[in-house]
Amino acid sequence: MFPFLKSKTQEAKIFAVSRRQFLRVTSISTTGLILGVHFAFGNNLKNQHQESLKTVFKPNAYLKIDLDGTVIIVAHRSEMGQGIRTSLPMVVAEELDADWSRVKIIQAEGNEAKYGNQNTDGSFSVRMFYKPLRQAGATAKALLIQAAANQWGVLLAQCRAENHQVINTTNGNTLDYGALAEAASQLPMPDVESLVLKNPKDFKFIGTLLPIVDNKDIVTGKAIYGMDAVMNGMKIAVIARCPVVGGKVKSFDAASAKAISGVLDVIELTSGLLPPQINVPLGGVSVVAENTWAAIKGRDALNVEWDFGPNSNFDSAKQLNEMTSSLSKKGNARMERGNVDSNLSSASHTIDYSFEAPFYAHGTIEPPAAVASVVDGKCEVLACTQHPEGAKEAVAKALKIKPENVTVNVTLLGGGFGRKSKPDFIVEAAMLSQKTGMPIKVIWTREDDIHHDFYHAQSAQNIRVGLDAQGKVTAWNHKTCFSSIVATSVVEALEPADFELGLGAVDIPYDFKNLRIETLPAKAHARIGWIRSVSNIHHSFAIGSMIDEIALARKKDAADNIIELLGNDRDLDHEGIKWDIKPYNEKKEDYPMSTGRMKNVIKLAREKSNWGKSLSGKRAQGIAFHHSFLTYVACVVEVAIDDSGTITIPEVHYAVDCGVIVNRDRVISQFEGGAAFATSLALNSAITFKNGRVAQNNFDGYQIARMPDAPKKVFVHLVESDVKPTGVGEPPVPAFIPALANALSRASGKRITKMPMMVS
């Protein structure tokens, strides 16, 4: 997702899996058949990454069949609520023709050389692994069928697999997979290209609903998250970090902390790094204690004097005002086609709005937490991480040991949304374990989480649209201003990066002949990170709202207007972008952005939502379309505003085209939940800074949607498709926000231009 954050090796691995993949038997074990997916470049790829890729060719164990027939599938991506521990194993089990009740899932440790990409981010788990994991299952099945044919002395054509058995179609004899595993492990590998994958009409799992594998553990309290992880003899650490990013410890008095019973030690970690970096902890003063309560109380009792550093005057409201004012200036053109200025000056009607959105914190209900144990130069970690390989590298660097001496075990994540891509909390635990010689669990309190997150950056945008006398759009000028994620690592990064503009700004689908997208600088004074759907959040808000204003100006139905503005059915050519865009790190031709598929979901949403139904009082529907993470989403939101100005959302309709649907229920649940997540962003949440420090402390100041605030009903309408699958983790968020803004604008009669949205 964010290639600039990765080492060359990691970046190359992203490419690797999108190329030719093949499988091979990786080891023959007396306990059964172990198969691995082996990623490799095809001969066609000759570039600078080749050298560093040699390590990727190592074999790995993805799938194992025990002698008792238990199929063990390794889940190598992090589970944070998207259901990936169920969905990817379903793909393997499908092609294997396994009995789902005999499938066991185990979680992989961080090892990208072995498993391929494990950075669970960017909504690409299914997109990247659908085909390789089908091949993994199909290869195992081919070997099991061959083993059965050999045992029976019959032709392969007389054998077929079904429900964990191979069947002799001539006489009806059967052999269980467990009985065939050992023989299968002795056979030569089939050529993966010769494997015939299932016809989708024969799918038994893919496209159906399977309950998540952790369902019962979760509802009985047995599921283990990072916060629950335990190591023998571990101590608990809570850390006082400087409230201002870049600030450092001047001095501290540990006496009153140490006076608290249970407090064992007070340890300083280096602080004050600027830019703060993605992979480095903030540092501060750590209180190590026998138990969590003692550590929390010890930290509260610390007396730390800080040197707040250069960000101590940062006032986010002031900066946002300056950013909005700057939108009147000419920006840095990042995409341009046609002639915007002359068409704006000759327009018979112009529409001009500026939009603002705040900083957001992730607010995962599980705050960051990790356990680490450093013994004899080796480090073992248990953590709720989205990116175990990144964590491994960051820990190795901080401890000055080799990455191969770090093992990162992945627990369940109590929410991720991008926060747990960053390894800072894991590195803290590892550093403290190295310093103390004891296993250390670092826990972040909620206040720590709200005060020291990697925030989604606040933004100011302006869009100016020119219309001719016939209501045709003749010019679109979009200016976007927000601090870049890159600024967390590179101090010179003052304007949005190319990839951030590729998140909803320059991939604009509308057929505007005269178009310019400009950026303006906004220096970062906090750790900027990414939250579910990233820059799509503010870009979709501004663009989707302006598209609705165009409908009003043209006196067109809002749904018809979107369809008309998309123009002819075609694949987007992205004409005018000033770099070679690779949407979501894919080649344009592999995932063409089709306006036909866009119109299709808009029509589906229109039909299913009873679009245009009559509503009395301050109630209205709003509609928006947004394509993100290569998935097509149209959204209709219905709002009601009561006399006190309280907003409720009675109904939401999503129409979604994500290609092949793997686990139908988890696709639906991502959209149900995404609507609530987007409600928080739109109506409830905002982080502000005063004197360089975050003004909110906990879920009282930083609010997220509670049940009464969230949409009452969310209907998800899926397009049935054979097109290769794309992700659904992030796409629910962007389309919802402008659909809600448009509904509120129509219900209140006043255009919503700021988040959190308010109507009174």
Partner 1 sequence: MLEKLQKCTKSTRCLLVISQQTKTNIMAEYTLTINKESKIVNVAEDTPLLWVLRDALNMKGTKFGCGRALCGACTVHLNGTAVRSCSLPVAAATSGEITTIEGLSEDGSHPVQEAWIDHIVPQCGYCQPGQIMAAASLLNNNPNPSDEDIEIAMAGNLCRCGTYTRIKEAIKTAASKS
Q: Which 325-384 positions form the footprint of partner 1 (CB under 8 A)?
A: 363-367
Any contact of residue 223 with partner 1 (CB under 8 A)? yes
Count of alpha carbons within 13 angstroms of residue 194, beta-carbon side:
5
190 alpha-carbon distance from chain centroid: 35
Nearer Cβ to partner 1, position 260 or 542?
260
CB of 448 to partner 1, least distance (A): 10
* 218 makes contact with partner 1 (CB under 8 A): yes
Q: Does 698 bind partner 1 (CB under 8 A)?
A: yes
Among 707, 720, 722, 749, binds partner 1 (CB under 8 A): 707
Interactions with partner 1, residue window 535-594 (CB under 8 A): none
CB 544 within 8 Å of CB 505: no
Our measurement of the distance from residue 754's CA atom to the centroid of its chain's CA atoms, rounded to an integer in Å, reads: 24
User: Is the Cβ of residue 57 or residue 699 nearer to partner 1 in the bound state?
Assistant: 699
255 binds partner 1 (CB under 8 A): no
Let me know: does 514 contact 337? Beta carbons within 8 Å: yes
Cα–Cα distances (Å) from 143 to 34, 137, 147, 168, in that order, read: 11, 10, 6, 15
Segment near partner 1 (CB under 8 A), from 5-13, 184-192, 226-234, 540-548? Answer: 226-234
Residues 514 and 300 sit within 8 Å (Cβ to Cβ)? no
Report which of 410, 391, 388 is spatially closest to residue 399, judged by C-alpha positions. Answer: 391
265 touches partner 1 by CB under 8 A: no
Identify the bridge partners of residue 624 per DSSP, sorted by sequence position.
635
Residue closer to partner 1, measured from CB, 369 or 605: 369
259: which DSSP letter?
Answer: T
* CA 275-280-286 angle, 5° bins: 115
Does 674 sit near partner 1 (CB under 8 A)? yes
155 touching partner 1, by CB under 8 A: no
**Beta carbons of 377 and 465 less than 8 angstroms apart:** no
Of the candidates 459, 184, 467, 267, the residue with the CA atom closest to the CA atom of residue 351: 467
Q: Does 669 bind partner 1 (CB under 8 A)?
A: yes
CB nearer to partner 1: give 41 or 654.
Answer: 654
Least separation in angstroms between residue 668's CB and partner 1 is 10
Q: Which of 221, 376, 469, 720 binds partner 1 (CB under 8 A)?
A: 221
Of 138, 139, 158, nearest to 148 by C-alpha is: 158
Q: Is 700 in the site for partner 1 (CB under 8 A)?
A: yes
Given the complex with partner 1, which of 416 and 502 has the nearer CB atom?
416
Q: Name which position in 65, 90, 227, 245 contacts partner 1 (CB under 8 A).
A: 227
Q: Which of residues 442-501 bind partner 1 (CB under 8 A)?
A: 443, 445-447
- Asked whether position 303 contacts partner 1 by CB under 8 A, the answer is no
User: What contacts 400, CB < 8 A, 6 or more positions away?
Assistant: none
∠ CA 10-4-317, nearest 5°, is: 140
Instruction: Give the residue, chosen from 72, 237, 372, 675, that forms a contact with partner 1 under the rule CB under 8 A.
Output: 675
Supply the minimum distance, in Å, between the C-beta of residue 557 and partner 1: 28
Report if residue 300 touches partner 1, rule: CB under 8 A: yes
**598 contributes a contact to partner 1 by CB under 8 A:** no
Residue in the block written with tokens 């690409």: 124
CA distance 632 to 323: 31
Cβ 228 to partner 1 shortest distance, Å? 4
Phi-psi region of 357 (alpha: psi -120 to 50; beta: other; left: phi over 0): beta
Query: Would you count residue 236 as binding partner 1 (CB under 8 A)?
Result: yes
Separation CA 222–CA 322 (nearest Å): 50
**Contact pick of 55, 251, 261, 325 for partner 1 (by CB under 8 A):** 261
**Ranges within 95-114 binding partner 1 (CB under 8 A):** none
* Torsion from C-alpha of 734, 735, 741, 745, nearest 10 degrees: 160
Total of chain residues touching partner 1, rule CB under 8 A: 76
Q: Report the residue number, 221 or 749, with the smaller CB distance to partner 1.
A: 221
| Residue 413 binds partner 1 (CB under 8 A) | yes
Confirm or reject binding of residue 727 to partner 1 (CB under 8 A): no
650 contributes a contact to partner 1 by CB under 8 A:
no
Residue 373 vs 696, nearer CB to partner 1: 696
Among 36, 137, 416, 731, binds partner 1 (CB under 8 A): 416
Selected from 19, 58, 222, 587, the binder of partner 1 by CB under 8 A is 222
Selected binder of partner 1 within 417, 512, 541, 632 (CB under 8 A):
417
Tokens 């959302």 correspond to what residue? 649
What b/e readout covers 518-545, taking b as 16+ CB neighbours within 10 angstroms?
A: bbbbbebbbbbbbbbbbbbbbbbbbbbb
Q: Does 81 bind partner 1 (CB under 8 A)?
A: yes
Of 294, 374, 624, 637, the one binding partner 1 (CB under 8 A) is 294
Q: Label residues 39-63 b or e (16+ Cβ within 10 Å = b).
A: bbbeeeeeeebeeebeebeebbbbb
Listed ranges 238-246, 440-448, 522-530, 618-626: which one lies at the site for partner 1 (CB under 8 A): 440-448
Residue 20 or 446 having the CB closest to partner 1: 446
- What token pair was written down for 473? 């759009």
d(C-alpha 168, C-alpha 466), whole Å: 71
